[in-house]
Structure 1
């Protein structure tokens, strides 16, 4: 793409719509444009200085840079994504509910931004948002929310956390002239006359004008006016009570704190708050509504038995608020079964190639024809063999790859989305799916659906199909097909029978309520065994895994994490140690055909397929667990640059801001 530079009427006229190749001075090329030009091309379409760096024509007619924009020049068009509800407006009840859960995180962000605004020195530049371009820190790959630092010569960008770490290291060294070591920090600019010391970088903001502070002021006014309290303590609420006069009303007059402030209740969607956390461990908790359900995992796992029942939402939130997983049964009754069979996938995609993993040894096998995987899904005798002639326990890795699932498999996408339960959360535009609040211009994260296809491994109780890990967002995982192994070879047929016996043994180890379900419901076709743990127990699990690694002489490298690395499967022995040594008891969830398992953000979990399974998952961001999304963003940024989870793909802070913006907009409209 080429950009035309408007005519300069005189040498005082400046513009900001030129890419680096249109400037003659090579020392002012940004990192991305320099890479493109060195490869023989033109400037990058996402030039870091486009619509940001001001240029003018000098006396010799050359185009030269003369500085950067400041926030005061922002137009109504620039303000629109940060001030207007673009679509999918929320109702008042939902708006109150969202604010009651998201406000503490929003207030933390505002406080962090206030602190960042005091760092550095000199005038603050304004980085105008470029449609479709996501600003990332060049050091930790975290999404840049607002304040950040950049090199005026090459566009090198760092987030506040990395800038503060660098400045602290330089201060500790006792000299500003010495470059400190910070992993991923490019100390030398491509301009040989510039070094990337912390004090050499210039402060910039992304939000135009005072949008963030204005929103914070409006949030405080709305919350006080409508008596919206929060589920968890909020730093700005405490500040307001200490200084009520600082809270403006819409017309600018002060509000005085009332005597009944402490009596405010957290808004619910016509749902009373759960009495206490111990409710999660009662034998048979009482739900606030009448809905077909049962309890598994010793009365700690709610199973909703009618996926379309109108009272499901209230019952679901009763447990979801406590950070518990939830299961919805018989979702397959809403699906078109012929779309989800191995034969159907083999016919349509059999000629494609994909990478696969042998789950027994963790080996990656590249470029396998997809049809070979599907042919052996149930029929063991045609499966690929390892070097010892044994059938491999294959898992399709990251398939289908490439474009949006909805474009690759439109019929299946439509079938799935029309069948998913709890649509307020699981639909892409669900009113309680906060990922839907992100404007299109920000480049939305990939929330799925994603497929998980793997053979059964019942005969290998210490090997997981998916090792212990946790995800930044919430997810629902639906088991859409279960394959029963068979073989036309006599010896292998005997081993298939042994696998069936091993699968039954795994069922027998489950709690009594799960075993009772299997006996009472003949439609339950066993697929996979999940182990899920509360997000709050992640650090205890890490401690156990590091201890085990040390005992086994295994090294966990610097900046790595035993959960994020997905290198452990908690077998029976480790699960017992976790309970006896740390008091951590998770949920052992037996997923049958049609079961949809809801996993909260930040909850460590692992999966072992007892039989061959086709599962499909959709991610979402719920108000209740957004705090874990922010926490994990901070954890992931500390991982090595090559780690699969290093990059901030969710944009948690952007989701928080736009969720609050839309909720406040809805409540403000109701005032008019």
Structure 2
């Protein structure tokens, strides 16, 4: 049964909803799922990998399935500089398990996004693609091929279909919140619903020398912030010890998911404090087109405390474990920070419950500047899905009237 639950011991105390994959098989679990989903609430489903064939999702194993040589280069994103660069596959995957650092011992956080590309994932790694789809909970909604409640599957073959995934995200992570260069997915809002499953993790520990170096550098960062931004809200204690979420056991990724109803207050906070955030090469955010769709902000623990104090807003905070699926409703802004090196796979879908929100977001995205990186037109898919759903509903009503 779906019940309120503090997601995991050691996690922030915000309440969300959890259930096991076994509970989804029963009628009660499905009813509860739909009730909370219709309310625009995120849902966590545990133990999703129990019924899968058990393929290895270790990134090096996946790479070898694609390429015989581990010496060829791949494009990775440096989270501190927020830019792409080339690194050998061997070096990247070694860092995934052992960690990497800059000469000053600051952790070097790298990530691969959408690798392999989602438009070729099914072709180049067909067994892994099937393994992931078999792990998806509630496949009526989430199956990207045949989900009967997934409006994204209803486009005719003559239509240009949007890229709904699966998409793979492979990234480093450490439990300490660094404040600069963290392995994060910045705050953003998807136009459709999404489900994200944690398929593999690797725990990377920081040495005592690194911890000492990080503390020293954090103090320098604080002094720089005070000079540049005249901001003194971060305490010396926080900077010395770092903000940590317990990553003991299997917890590997911290999700912060905001309610749709809180979006206006969240946007107001970000506009008010935009200069306090760091972006490319740790420079302040200079321009804000849209505080959420720009994907320029990650709210640290201190930012979240300030947001609650000033606006009374706090997110659902979830520490995702291996084999857990996180469902994110369309229209809920969210951000993610890796507490360990993680391999996650996600698919987008369009559920009947959230079609109204998808349409609202589509119009919102269309109002962004033409050159905006977040602008993407899924309107054709959504409108066709609505039309198809209305047509099917009419057929069912007519059939029922004839029977009665």
Is 1:475–1:599's contact at 8 Å kept on the other side of the alignment? yes
Deviations 1:551-584 (A, max 9, x none): 7775325xx1121111111112221222222221
For 1:228-627, list aligned pairs within 5 A. Answer: 291=1, 295-296=5-6, 300-307=15-22, 309-311=25-27, 312-349=29-66, 350=70, 353-359=73-79, 361-380=80-99, 383=100, 386=102, 388=104, 390-401=106-117, 403-428=119-144, 429-462=146-179, 463=182, 465-485=184-204, 505-507=244-246, 525-549=250-274, 554-557=285-288, 560-627=289-356
Which whole-Å CA distance do the structure 2 matches of 1:299 and 1:565 have between them? 26
Question: Once the 2 structures are TM-superposed, how far is the Cα of residue 434 of structure 1 from its aligned partner?
Answer: 1.4
Is 2:5–2:15's contact at 8 Å kept on the other side of the alignment? yes
Is 2:74–2:88's contact at 8 Å kept on the other side of the alignment? yes
Is 2:44–2:327's contact at 8 Å kept on the other side of the alignment? yes
Larger radius of gyration: 1
TM-score normalized by the length of structure 2 = 0.79
Is 2:256–2:316's contact at 8 Å kept on the other side of the alignment? yes
Q: Secondary structure at the match of 2:355?
A: helix
Question: Structure 1 residues 503 and 460 mapped into 2: Cα distance closer, same or farther (>3 Å)?
Answer: closer
Deviations 1:312-344 (A, max 9, x none): 321211211111100001112223444211331
Count of aligned positions = 356
Q: Which consecutive unaligned segments of at least 5 residues does structure 2 have? A: 8-12, 215-240, 278-283
Question: Once the 2 structures are TM-superposed, how far is the Cα of residue 374 of structure 1 from its aligned partner?
Answer: 1.6
Question: Structure 1 residues 537 and 436 mapped into 2: Cα distance closer, same or farther (>3 Å)?
Answer: same
Question: Structure 1 residues 378 and 568 mapped into 2: Cα distance closer, same or farther (>3 Å)?
Answer: same
Q: RCO greater where, 1 or 2, for CA within 8 Å and sep 6 or more?
A: 2
Question: Once the 2 structures are TM-superposed, how far is the Cα of residue 525 of structure 1 from its aligned partner?
Answer: 0.5
Which whole-Å CA distance do the structure 2 matches of 1:442 and 1:373 have between them? 38
Question: Once the 2 structures are TM-superposed, how far is the Cα of residue 495 of structure 1 from its aligned partner?
Answer: 9.1
Is 2:106–2:213's contact at 8 Å kept on the other side of the alignment? no
Is 1:437–1:662's contact at 8 Å kept on the other side of the alignment? no
Deviations 1:64-111 (A, max 9, x none): xxxxxxxxxxxxxxxxxxxxxxxxxxxxxxxxxxxxxxxxxxxxxxxx
Question: Structure 1 residues 573 and 505 mapped into 2: Cα distance closer, same or farther (>3 Å)?
Answer: closer
Q: Secondary structure at the match of 1:340?
A: coil
Question: Once the 2 structures are TM-superposed, how far is the Cα of residue 650 of structure 1 from its aligned partner?
Answer: 5.3
Identify, as 1 or 2, the structure richer in strand.
2
Deviations 1:473-527 (A, max 9, x none): 111111111101259x99569999xxxxx8994139xxxxxxxxx8xxxxx5010
Q: Secondary structure at the match of 1:507?
A: coil
Question: Structure 1 residues 585 and 636 mapped into 2: Cα distance closer, same or farther (>3 Å)?
Answer: same
Which whole-Å CA distance do the structure 2 matches of 1:505 and 1:556 have between them? 30
Is 1:461–1:571's contact at 8 Å kept on the other side of the alignment? no
Is 1:546–1:556's contact at 8 Å kept on the other side of the alignment? no
* Alignment partner of 2:374 out of 629, 645, 648: 645
Question: Once the 2 structures are TM-superposed, how far is the Cα of residue 666 of structure 1 from its aligned partner?
Answer: 3.9
Is 1:531–1:605's contact at 8 Å kept on the other side of the alignment? yes
Question: Structure 1 residues 371 and 464 mapped into 2: Cα distance closer, same or farther (>3 Å)?
Answer: closer
Which whole-Å CA distance do the structure 2 matches of 1:464 and 1:376 have between them? 13
Is 2:118–2:163's contact at 8 Å kept on the other side of the alignment? no
Task: Name the structure 2 match of 1:636.
Answer: 365
* Alignment partner of 1:655 out of 382, 385, 388: 385
Which whole-Å CA distance do the structure 2 matches of 1:416 and 1:460 have between them? 30
